[in-house]
Every structure is written in C-alpha cells, then in structure tokens.
Structure 1
C-alpha cells in the first residue's frame, strides 16, 4: 500500500489540494461543497501522479532513479493502472456537484495534465499543461458557487505563473537523467541557468500579480512580501552561479511559498 501511495507523488498532490482548500474557503461556499470540490482536486492530482509513474517506469528503471516504486518492482503496473482509473473517475464525479461549468473546467485541467504525462513533457511545449491546469484552478473553485463569475484574469495569471515555475524547479534536478532517456522539454532545451532565471521570473510575476492585481491599495502583507521576494531571488541567483549550488532552487521555492501565502490571502472572491 505504501508503494502505491509513493507512486502517486503525494507531497505535490497534498500541496495543490491545500491551496484548493484555502481558495475554496475564500469563496463563501458551504463547507460541504468546499470539501467535495477539494476532494475532486485531490483525486485529480492522484490520477496525474499515478499516470506519470506508469508512463515513466521504463525510463526510471533505465537510469536507476531512486524512489520510484514501479521502476523498482515494488508494485505491479496493473495495480497502478486500476488506481489511476478509479482516481480519474472520482475526480470527474466529485466535480459534478459544483455544476456543469466547474465540471467542464475540471475535465480540461485533467486532460491537460494527463497530456503532459503522455508525451507533452518531452516537447518544447512542456510548460503549457502546467500553465493551463494551474491557471484554471481558481476558476474551478470559484465557478462552483451559484451565480459566480469567472475569477479575475490577474488571479488566474498568477496561478498559471506559479504552476509554470513549479514545472521548471521540479525538472531541474532530473535534467541529466531525462536527457539520457530522450525527454527534452522546455527546461531541457533552455538549459539549467536559463531555467533557473525563468522560474525566478515566473514566481516574481506571480508575486506582482497577486500584490497589485486586486483593487485598492496593496495590503501590508504585499508591501512586506515584494521586497523580500526580490531580495531572496537576487541572493539565490547570485549564490547559485557556483557549480552544483542549490541556492537558486531554494530561493525560488521560498518565493513560491510566499506567493502561495499571497494567493490564499487574496482568495478567489476578489474583484
């Protein structure tokens, strides 16, 4: 059972689900509706993780990637296929109570994420599924409220920027292994230095959108977070110029956490 859990990439799934729950709480929807919508997001994330491990198992085994239960033979492919099928179906069924608009958005986000697993990851368009699926997350959460409009474009843009940054920082540690197995997504084509700069620019863009997108004067949290974000990224990128230094990666992750805090503080009910 633990091998099946590990194959689902549980930490990213839980992180995205936590963000969805926070956004749901900001909509004013009944708690039971928020719980069901959040469960739909979690099920979808599990399906993406299991499909990813199914598709990548031969490549993971080829490079001896540690921590991959399928590649290590700790679990059989039919078990993971069944888990994927159940979670994918649950992700759609759990979206139905949020209404047809939200369900349609959920299907688009799932198809986008599955497309990444099934081959888009090896193309120059590898970042597109992350931008699309993450960018639509606030829409899925907000459209479930009766009569709710689409969330503002700046909010969806910030979510898309965060998702895109996640793609770059997630791929960076595996660039060499991916190249050895024929995976050449956008980060591989740009190279590690340009990918670090791209991730930094994306999280900073998300910070700016979340800070200055809402109507009215920026909150004290924003006024404090923006200079911190700029300073952390500057220090990380300078220190990250040393060979094998994790400073740039850590700086991007720190600012990404700040952005998530801004995202949850802003919510999806902001005009």
Structure 2
C-alpha cells in the first residue's frame, strides 16, 4: 500500500479496532452483559452472550466503514481509517461478513428465542448501513434493534418470563435517541454526500429536541412502568431528568451546545442505570 510522503497512518491493528466504532461497540456490549447479570443469566451464558453481542457490533462497525468508504473519502473523514488509507474496504467487507457469521452461530447457541432476538439488533444495524440511513425511516433500525436487545438478554435467563413491555419500550427509545445524537456531528458531511436520514430532515435543533424527549420518555417508562409505586430513587431520577431534558433540548443551538452535552450524558447514564435495574426487576 502506497501512502503520500510524510503521512502518518494508524497501525493496521489499531485501524481495524477504530473501524469497529469501538466506543459504541464497547458500550453496547458492556450494557448487554451487565443487563444479563441483573436478569439472572448464569455466568457462562453471560460470557457467551457478551461475545455474541460483541461479534454483532463489530460486524456492524466494519460493514459501516466498508459501505461508506467512498463517501468517507469524499469528505476526508479523519476518524475513519478506511478514508485515510490505513485499511482497505475489501478487508473490512471480509471481516464484517466473518464477524456477522460468528454472531449468528454464537447467538443461536443461547437458544432460538434469545438468539433470534439478539440477531434482530445485528440485522437492524446492517439494514441501516445498507441504505436505511439515507431515508426518513433511518430511526427504525435503531428503535427495533435496541428494543430487541433487552428482550433477547432477558430471554437468555433460564425460566425467565418474557421481557416486560416497559423494558423493551425503553430500549427502543434509547436506541432512537442514540441515532439522533450520533448523527448530529456529521449532518453537514452526510448531506454533502447524499445522506438524508431523519436527523438531516429535521435538522440539528429538531434532532436535539427529539433526542431529549426520547431520553426523558425512557426515564419515565423505566420508573413508572414496573408494577407498584415508583421508589424514592425513581422519583429522584425523574426530578433530575426533567431539567436535564430541558437543557438537552438546546443541544442543537450553538449558544447552549456545551451546556447541553452534559445533560445528554446525564440522561443517558440515568437511563442505562434504570435499564439495568429493570433487568433485575424482571427476575
């Protein structure tokens, strides 16, 4: 591979790790593993589930960078190794297919029901990368995939009841919010290369408001959804969530963007904590 004189490229292994979209991949895998522990999944199955989810997330990251290689080169994405010449699209395609196949095998080892539910997330990610990201329905793969994830995790626990509606609903809301937040920094680059998903159609302000509302709704569902009255901790979360939603909704404005980002992070952390607590509540 020939590089321009003086250009520094990432080492191949590091480039491959970056191309997995390592941050979201680790976050989703860790959340799934912790939710499995909270739901009473036996330790051996927790490990199997975590590896299955990891394989699926890695395949989604690699397929994204493979399919978007030309587009990322056009806008010279500095955060994409394939756009910088550190890894080839052909290699990413091969690795994406291999890791997707591994995700199928590992997921189904957990059983048909949890396996298929976990694979909904993988299929949703691939569908998004393959074209849905360019449509007004771009949010659907996120909502569908992350709604199925807690259902699959809970189903992996022997004898566990089906995941309750509020756990699945909250997962879907978190997934949809993640889509709006994740797309926001790249709106201009995406528009320049013909990508017009839902965030691009409603703009930065609309995406910020939508993200904030979805995160707030997830908080409300996770606190009020389980049987019985909300706990004191639940009321405390809602007391924090209300002003955080208001501030997070300002993320689409340049003036309040710095203040809004911590509010988005606070809501996300609160919702993930509530999601894990919800996993314990279904056992």
Q: TM-score, normalised by structure 1?
A: 0.95
- Equivalent residues of 1:168, 1:196 under 8 A apart: yes
Deviations 1:157-176 (A, max 9, x none): 00000000000000001001
| Pair 1:228 & 2:231 matched | no
Out of 214, 221, 224, the position equivalent to 1:202 is 214
- Equivalent residues of 1:240, 1:246 under 8 A apart: no
Distance 1:238 1:194, change over 3 A: closer
SS in 1 for 2:103: helix
SS in 1 for 2:109: helix
Separation in structure 2 between the aligned mates of residue 166 and residue 111 of structure 1, nearest angstrom = 17
Distance 1:63 1:240, change over 3 A: closer
Q: TM-score, normalised by structure 2?
A: 0.91
Separation in structure 2 between the aligned mates of residue 115 and residue 233 of structure 1, nearest angstrom = 30
Moved more, 33-42 or 137-146: 137-146
Moved more, 128-137 or 64-73: 64-73
Deviations 1:57-90 (A, max 9, x none): 1111101111100011001222212221221111
Deviations 1:21-57 (A, max 9, x none): 1110022221001110111111100000000001111
- Equivalent residues of 2:146, 2:175 under 8 A apart: yes
- How much is the aligned-residue C-alpha RMSD, in angstroms? 1.7
Distance 1:268 1:129, change over 3 A: farther
Q: Number of paired residues?
A: 271
- Equivalent residues of 1:135, 1:156 under 8 A apart: yes
- Equivalent residues of 1:237, 1:247 under 8 A apart: no
- 1:124 aligned partner: 136
- Equivalent residues of 1:20, 1:137 under 8 A apart: yes
Separation in structure 2 between the aligned mates of residue 181 and residue 240 of structure 1, nearest angstrom = 21
- Equivalent residues of 2:117, 2:152 under 8 A apart: yes
- 2:6 aligned partner: none
Separation in structure 2 between the aligned mates of residue 268 and residue 156 of structure 1, nearest angstrom = 14
- 1:86 aligned partner: 98
- 1:153 aligned partner: 165
| Pair 1:168 & 2:175 matched | no
- Equivalent residues of 1:53, 1:68 under 8 A apart: yes
Deviation at 1:242, TM superposition (A): 4.0
Separation in structure 1 between the aligned mates of residue 247 and residue 198 of structure 2, nearest angstrom = 25
Unaligned runs of 5+ in 1: none
Separation in structure 2 between the aligned mates of residue 236 and residue 161 of structure 1, nearest angstrom = 15
Out of 42, 57, 60, the position equivalent to 2:69 is 57
- Equivalent residues of 2:19, 2:61 under 8 A apart: yes
Separation in structure 1 between the aligned mates of residue 113 and residue 174 of structure 2, nearest angstrom = 24
